Chain A
Amino acid sequence: MTETTGNLHVMNRAALTKRLVAGLKNREAVIGGIGNSNWDLWAADRTRGENFYMLGSMGLAAPIAMGVAIAQPKRRVFALEGDGSLLMQLGCLSTIAAQGVRNLCVVVWDNGIYQITGGQGTPARASGTDIVAIARASGIASAAWAADEAEFDALVARALATDGPHLIGVKIDNEPGREQTDRDPIRFRESFMRAMALPV
């Protein structure tokens, strides 16, 4: 598990999302954040009812995932969130830690930019902010950078097998999302609720 940002391999969100989703065998819930996080989740497997695509509320993927995790302690829940989005709602890391949400894992796709709105750099990139260090300082002890694809797999395996809350930071390239979701929030909510009604 990697604790600093010095030696991180730059990876690809679409490839890692595919890898993550392909490894889920127990109806784990996955909440995709606004824009690219969603779009690569959709591209990874749009038929998965356990995916929820959050279309408009920047920064709320982790809180929504936390709510799912509290309602269903037996189900493992992932939030996929961009760094810019998480920066808007950093306090949620304290809330997650305070409640000790065991079955939750937040994956942060850190490209250092607001890719979807034109690639502007984030203040955090300019200042050298370390999001994993923030998560740890917020009380999420199991927070780590994934140095490469193999370590990403290992961290996901840890999130599936051990008590969290977990946070995985991933340095990614600036590729936009590969496909776009439908824009049908009611259908997303309905299919997600149907999937959540099935036992784990």
Chain B
Amino acid sequence: MNEPARPANTWHEILRQAFKDHDVRLVTYVPDNVLRPLIEGCHADPFFTTFPCVREEEAVGIVTGATMAGMRGVVLMQTSGFATLPNVLASLVVACQVPVVMVVSERGTLGEFNPGQAIVCRTMRPILDSMGIEHHTMTRLDEAAFIADRTIRQAFATRWPACLILSPLLTGGRK
């Protein structure tokens, strides 16, 4: 929109562009180091209303309200933040069929040093699967635009939440 016509060539530019292409204007987050360039990019871009929340479930509530009132939104979080969400996803988002888009930076795999994080990470996909929430793990830059675009498109077309998982293979993860 008000971006230069340069093709997006990092994972975070690709995601930001996918948000724009689907008119996702509200960006809420609980921060994570890996997400930093995406968060900073959204803050710097006047297309988006971007702010931090104190809890991930609060952010899901805010995006649910905004979506019902006509403004699409996304929640950015880390794996541990996702693990706090089953109640709100089941009782609000899935029960009401609201297309809340989640982006999770994946910690706890591919070289994790903290045992707790590794266990938390193993809960994420079973939780999503148990509610029928479609999720795609983004591992490669050349596939990133396609996966982000199609996942977000389907969420709004089918009125169902969706989750994009950012693998350390894509982001480099935590060093």
Residues of A within 8 A of B147 (CB): none
Q: Pick out which of these stretches binds chain A: B5-13, B46-54, B106-114.
A: B46-54
* A150-176 with Cβ < 8 A to chain B: none
User: Complex formed: what's the CA distance from A72 to B96 in Å?
Assistant: 20
- Decide yes or no whether A92 CB sits under 8 A from chain B: yes
Do A196 and B57 touch (CB < 8 A)? no
- Decide yes or no whether B154 CB sits under 8 A from chain A: no
Q: Pick out which of these stretches binds chain A: B83-91, B115-123, B128-136, B167-175.
A: B83-91
Nearest residue (CB) in A for B63 is A67
Do B65 and A65 touch (CB < 8 A)? yes
Do B65 and A66 touch (CB < 8 A)? yes
Residues of A within 8 A of B87 (CB): 56-57
Most chain A C-beta atoms within 10 Å of own C-beta, residue among B53, B69, B71, B98? B69
- Distance of A57 from chain B, by nearest CB (Å): 5
Do B64 and A67 touch (CB < 8 A)? yes
Do A99 and B91 touch (CB < 8 A)? no
Residues of B within 8 A of A22 (CB): none
User: Complex formed: what's the CA distance from A68 to B51 in Å?
Assistant: 15
Nearest residue (CB) in A for B53 is A95
In the complex, 29 of the A-B residue pairs with CB atoms within 8 angstroms, ordered by the A residue number, are: A29-B69, A31-B65, A56-B95, A60-B58, A60-B64, A60-B88, A60-B92, A63-B65, A67-B26, A67-B64, A67-B68, A67-B71, A68-B68, A70-B66, A71-B67, A71-B69, A72-B70, A89-B58, A91-B55, A91-B58, A92-B53, A92-B54, A95-B51, A95-B52, A99-B51, A186-B97, A189-B97, A193-B68, A193-B69
How many Cβ-Cβ contacts under 8 Å join chain A to chain B? 113
User: Footprint of B on A, CB under 8 Å?
Assistant: 29, 31, 52, 54-57, 59-60, 63-72, 75, 89, 91-92, 94-95, 98-99, 185-186, 188-189, 192-193, 196-197
Residues of A within 8 A of B88 (CB): 57, 60
Residues of B within 8 A of A56 (CB): 87, 90-92, 95
**7 nearest CB pairs, A to B:** A67-B65, A56-B91, A91-B54, A63-B61, A71-B71, A71-B69, A67-B66
User: Footprint of A on B, CB under 8 Å?
Assistant: 26, 49, 51-55, 57-71, 73, 87-88, 90-92, 95-98
User: Complex formed: what's the CA distance from A196 to B65 in Å?
Assistant: 10
Do A189 and B65 touch (CB < 8 A)? no
User: Complex formed: what's the CA distance from A94 to B55 in Å?
Assistant: 11
Residues of B within 8 A of A71 (CB): 26, 65-67, 69-71
A63-B96 CB under 8 A given contacts A56-B90, A70-B71, A92-B54 = no
Residues of A within 8 A of B97 (CB): 186, 189
Nearest residue (CB) in B for A91 is B54
Residues of B within 8 A of A67 (CB): 26, 61-69, 71, 73
Interface SS of chain A: helix, strand, loop or mixed? helix
Most chain A C-beta atoms within 10 Å of own C-beta, residue among B54, B55, B65? B65
Do A70 and B49 touch (CB < 8 A)? yes
Known: A67-B69, A68-B65. 12 other contacts (CB 8 A): A31-B65, A63-B59, A63-B62, A64-B62, A64-B68, A66-B62, A72-B70, A91-B54, A91-B55, A92-B53, A95-B53, A193-B68
Do A197 and B70 touch (CB < 8 A)? yes
Residues of A within 8 A of B65 (CB): 31, 63-71
- Distance of B62 from chain A, by nearest CB (Å): 4
